[in-house]
Structure 1
Amino acid sequence: MGGRSGFARWKGSLPFAGAWFRLPPPAPPADLIETEERNKDRVRLLRDRYGILFRELLQNESEPFRWAALFRSLRLMELSGEVLAGYFFEGIPGPQFISHAAFRVLQRKLPDEAVYWLAATDPASLSGVGIEPLKANLPKRIGGTHLVYRGKDLVMVSQRNGKSLTFHAPPDDPRLTEYLGVLRHLLMRAFQPVRRVTIETINGEDASRSPYIDGLRTAFEVIIEHRHVVLYRKGG
């Protein structure tokens, strides 16, 4: 009796009876197969964007798209034949994975004489990738910077939307006007073209004293303003 009365006293001392119920069990961890398929989809997205994947290329991606998160999936996709692994480009440490389409492009002769430009922030740009040889030759990955190539050779860098130009080709290069296409784009693009491009420096010197001015005059209306060179569209 003493035991029962003790329990009754304990029960009666509770502040209220309450409505008690069992909590649901915690959700189980995500299914491993589902997680792997999600990672493979991320690899496919990156593969279609870049063509080739390696550790340094993915260092600026968000966490789920970085090398550590996707390396296992890349190896599985290599085993299944969806991607190829190997040493395709010199100077890149560690494994490289490439799409079949990109590998076919590499097997063909690349167009040595094609002139093209791209923004430093473009996914195809290697600016900002943590590989030492590239750090020395490419500008920072920031807006307003553009790279001009002739084949695989970097021939011009435009920074701050044309305020600073660096040429890696001589002033009498017969294709100089083609290299200036990125500046024409700034003046003539359909969306928010600029009225003029003011060049402050060319190859680190005052633009007004540059031997490249004659080449600029073949493509633009050129006005010298003190130490700067101002470009306008030809014909207005």
Structure 2
Amino acid sequence: MFCMNPFISVAPGRLITILAAMLLVGCTGLGQVPPALQRLDLGAPPDGVTRAAQSAPVKTLVVPPVSAPAMLQGVGVVWRMGPDGLPNRYATYEWAASPDSLIHERLIDRLSRNFAILPESVGSDALTLRVNLLQFEQVYAADGSGNEGIVGIQAVLLRGSDVLGQYRDTERVRAQANDAQAGARALRIATNQLANDLTAWISQTAQK
């Protein structure tokens, strides 16, 4: 990170501009210790449900790892200013695992209440769910008045090589504060709602 050398002569007007920029980016020079990196996650599954307490599954469902664009395969916490703004990453926050992994884990937690989950197919007519993570980010209003956590997926349900149905959903939850932690909580709520809706869709589609 760039920090100003105190021995460089700078015009008064230019100095004010530089000092303001240093305050915004959080200069860590001159012996200051940079902020500790904080890790965020989606928390425990809702309702405290564990595999040991789940009801007997009624169908077998193959759920391969979630696919995602490169931006969502790392641990950076993505935010943007306005829906069309360029993606940014918080400097002092990261996810405990990549968003595609977090989504896959939460989907397994939820789906396993209704299905016996397998990581790969064991038969040519197996019921398979393929999920593509499209969006997982905190989006601020252009005027800075608030922000929301947004999670979007596209899914395909197959029996063998036959497509039973396609599903697309985007969940938006308003955050309670303009910071990374509030955004993570909003993303957790959005993810849980998306997992519930996807489970209901699979159950209905598989019966057709």
TM-score by length of structure 2 reads 0.27
Name the structure with the higher helix share.
1
Structure with larger Rg: 1
Higher relative contact order (CA 8 A, sep 6+): 2
Name the structure with the higher strand share.
2
TM-score by length of structure 1 reads 0.25
